[in-house]
């Protein structure tokens, strides 16, 4: 078994020493990385790998004057009795008396003991493994690369006992399959690459709010900024027959049959590739994208989401098991369904309150009432009825949000196929939003096909449809209103097809551009206060849902614009 291995269905026999170090730093960090299999690189981890390259290299890159009597480098060892596996950067010594040397990036800290506890524990665990393998070992060395300093760590009784206690505690937590709670207001989270997955402040806030009966009084302002607030990588859209996507080195190229190369993008700057209608993609491009974890999404010309090409799916089996457990339980499914529908109705109300110049009192009151009813609906059937009633009220008012001088109007919501330009744009945007939610859920570790409100049907991404409910008004409807009200769409952008209306290729590009602008826009999060893009908010919501399924927070907190 290697340092990073670990079965997802059983507790691995041996704990990697590196994980023990993570556990000493933060039990939750270790759980997320080791049990859930989630890992995100940070500046520290990238730099750490770079510094390790020297010691891992067989080349003569080690400062020899500082390391006499080198026994071995990058040595993998296991100690079944102590329950640890480890990779020792460097082993010094003569005969059977050895000293493990662990490389650490950065400066040696000026603290008693000369090194932080997680580093000392990791080294001591290596010492225990060496002893089990018949070496004599009573101390280790931590070599701090930046300050070029060797710090000697004696394996005394206190450190050895602490290391053994941590091994036993970690094993218990792994067996229980219970994620430890986030640290409270800890400076450790500031440097933690998993903060965006763990959401320590957000989860702590929601737990405190639940303990206070839902009140957020005195609690806000405690949340640290979510970083990054927006994704650096962006989606690529290729629309239209006659286009081919290829890869050349680290660049993705888009070729047109008529015009040659029309666009290119660096692979590391791409988050997803969306192909609409008859676009070819080369096998090397697909394989590289898969290896980088960049999904390729396939759509019909009309925007119907047909499927996805991805690499190995997320390894978090625990989450999918929980999802199936909840989906099979009517009461628990209903609680999530009620929260998302209530959230959606609230956002419909906000849309009208913010943009309807007449401020229709009756409509606002009705939506407020329906939102509260949705929150407490006693069955899925009742919830469906409430949602239908709210949709009638909201869409009945949507025309008032289109500027009156506009050449387009909206009577009611119709689809498959849409009968008018406004509905055509809405349908197109809802499909794009559904795929966005699909990709987000997949990345977090969910099965997007198994929902809590939308019932399973072959090929239907039910959970993606559930989770996009609250975002329909704030993302899709808002983009539609903006495109029409700013006159970015005209009659020429639509084609009458006999059975309905569809968008021209040019119009689709305009709609996608409007959508992407919205997804990348940063807003102040209504509950957590920090500035964050809509795309990141989608991910935060999916992660909060996962915390609900694991019982960390009781109720799914829908995203509601104020």
CA contacts within 13 A on the Cβ side of 14 = 22
- The answer to the question of residue 553 lying near ligand SF4 (CB under 6 A) is no
Among candidate residues 153, 154, 130, 19, the one with its CA nearest the CA of residue 72: 130
C-beta of 208: minimal distance to ligand SF4 in Å?
Answer: 15
**395: alpha, beta or left, given left = phi > 0 and alpha = psi -120 to 50?**
alpha
Region 7-26 residues binding ligand SF4, contact defined as CB under 6 A: 26
Which of 41, 59, 42, 62 has its CA nearest to residue 51?
A: 62
- Considering the complex, what minimum distance in angstroms separates the CB of residue 222 from ligand SF4? 14
Q: Most distant CA pair in the chain: distance in Å?
A: 90
> ∠ at Cα 352 (346, 356), nearest 5°?
170
For the CB of residue 33, give the shortest distance to ligand SF4 in the complex, in Å: 9
Interface residue with ligand SF4 among 11, 14, 24, 29 (CB under 6 A) is 29
Is residue 118 a contact residue for ligand SF4 (CB under 6 A)? no
Q: Hunting for tokens 């890869």 — which residue is that?
A: 247
Contact, 284 vs 277, CB < 8 A?
no
First to last CA, the chain: 51
Q: Based on the shown chain and the rule CB under 6 A, indicate whether residue 192 belongs to the binding site for ligand SF4.
A: yes
Report, in Å, the least distance between residue 35 CB and ligand SF4. 12
Q: Residue 260: beta bridge partners?
A: 256
Task: Write out the two tokens for 226.
Answer: 């979510």
Residue 544 within binding range of ligand SF4, rule CB under 6 A: no
Task: Give the contact letters, 152-191, x = binds to ligand SF4 (CB under 6 A), - = no.
Answer: ------------------------------xx--x-xx--
Is residue 200 at the binding interface for ligand SF4, with CB under 6 A as the rule?
yes
Question: Does residue 514 touch ligand SF4 according to CB under 6 A?
Answer: no
* 198 near ligand SF4, rule: CB under 6 A: yes
How many residues belong to the site for ligand SF4 (CB under 6 A)? 14
Q: Is residue 254 at the binding interface for ligand SF4, with CB under 6 A as the rule? A: no
Is 508 a binding residue for ligand SF4 by CB under 6 A? The answer is no
Q: How far is the CB of 114 from ligand SF4 (least distance, A)?
A: 23
Whichever of 200 and 557 has its CB closer to ligand SF4, that residue is 200
- Least distance to ligand SF4, CB of residue 95, Å: 41
Percent composition of the chain: helix, strand, coil (DSSP 3-state, to 5)? 45, 20, 35
- DSSP class of residue 455 equals P
Helix pair angle (505-520, 421-444), 10° resolution: 50
Q: Which is nearer to ligand SF4, 191 or 415 (CB)?
A: 191
Cβ pair 139, 99 in contact under 8 A? yes
What residue spans of 177-221 are helical by DSSP H?
A: 195-198, 200-211
Binds ligand SF4 (CB under 6 A): choice among 124, 195, 226, 433: 195
Least distance from ligand SF4 to the Cβ atom of residue 48, Å: 16
Q: Does 437 bind ligand SF4 (CB under 6 A)?
A: no
Sites of contact with ligand SF4 (CB under 6 A): 26, 28-29, 32, 182-183, 186, 188-189, 192, 194-195, 198, 200
């Amino acid at each position: 078994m290697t340092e990073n291995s670990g079965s997802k269905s059983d507790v691995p026999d041996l704990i990697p020493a590196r994980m023990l170090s993570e556990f000493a730093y933060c039990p939750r960090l270790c759980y997320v990385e080791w049990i859930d299999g989630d890992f995100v690189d940070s500046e520290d981890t990238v730099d750490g790998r770079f510094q390790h390259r020297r010691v891992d290299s067989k080349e003569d890159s080690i400062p020899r004057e500082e390391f006499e009597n080198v026994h071995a480098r990058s040595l993998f060892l296991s100690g079944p009795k102590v329950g640890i596996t480890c990779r020792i950067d460097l082993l010094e010594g003569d005969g059977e008396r050895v000293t493990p040397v662990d490389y650490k990036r950065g400066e040696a800290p000026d603290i008693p003991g000369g090194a932080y506890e997680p580093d000392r524990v990791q080294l001591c665990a290596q010492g225990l493994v060496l002893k089990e393998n018949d070496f004599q070992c009573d101390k280790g060395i931590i070599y701090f690369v930046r300050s070029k300093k060797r710090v000697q760590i004696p394996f005394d009784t206190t450190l050895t006992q602490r290391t053994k206690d941590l091994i036993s505690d970690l094993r218990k937590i792994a067996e229980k399959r219970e994620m430890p709670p986030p640290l409270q207001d800890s400076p450790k989270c500031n440097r933690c690459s998993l903060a965006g997955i763990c959401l320590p402040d957000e989860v702590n806030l929601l737990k405190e709010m639940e303990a206070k009966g839902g009140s957020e009084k005195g609690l806000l302002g405690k949340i640290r900024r979510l970083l990054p607030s927006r994704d650096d990588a962006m989606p690529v859209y290729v629309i239209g027959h006659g286009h081919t996507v290829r890869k050349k080195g680290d660049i993705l190229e888009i070729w047109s049959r008529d015009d040659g190369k029309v666009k290119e993008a660096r692979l590391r700057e791409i988050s997803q590739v969306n192909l609409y209608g008859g676009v070819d993609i080369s096998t090397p491009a697909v394989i590289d994208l898969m290896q980088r974890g960049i999904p390729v999404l396939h759509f019909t010309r009309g925007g119907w989401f047909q499927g996805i090409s991805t690499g190995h799916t997320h390894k978090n089996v625990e989450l999918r098991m929980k999802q199936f457990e909840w989906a099979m339980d009517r009461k628990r499914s209903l609680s999530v369904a009620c929260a998302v529908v209530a959230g959606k109705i609230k956002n419909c109300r906000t849309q009208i309150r913010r943009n309807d110049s007449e401020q229709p009192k009756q409509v606002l009151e009705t939506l407020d009432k329906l939102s509260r009813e949705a929150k407490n609906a006693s069955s899925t059937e009742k919830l469906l009825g409430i949602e239908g009633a709210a949709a009638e009220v909201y869409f009945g008012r949507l025309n008032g949000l289109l500027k009156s001088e506009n050449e387009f109007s909206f009577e009611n919501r119709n689809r498959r196929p849409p009968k008018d330009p406004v509905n055509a744009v809405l349908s197109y945007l809802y499909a794009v939003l559904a795929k966005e939610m699909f990709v987000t859920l997949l990345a977090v570790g969910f099965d997007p096909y198994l929902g809590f409100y939308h019932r399973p049907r072959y090929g239907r991404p039910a959970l993606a449809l559930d989770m996009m409910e609250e975002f329909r008004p704030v993302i899709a409807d808002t983009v539609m209103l903006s495109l029409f009200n700013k006159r970015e769409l005209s009659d020429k952008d639509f084609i009458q097809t006999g059975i309905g209306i569809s968008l021209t290729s040019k119009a689709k590009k305009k709609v996608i551009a409007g959508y992407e602008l919205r997804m990348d826009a940063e807003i102040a999060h209504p509950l957590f206060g920090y500035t964050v893009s809509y795309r990141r908010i989608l991910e935060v919501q999916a992660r909060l849902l996962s915390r609900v399924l694991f019982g960390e927070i009781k109720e799914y907190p829908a995203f509601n614009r104020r």
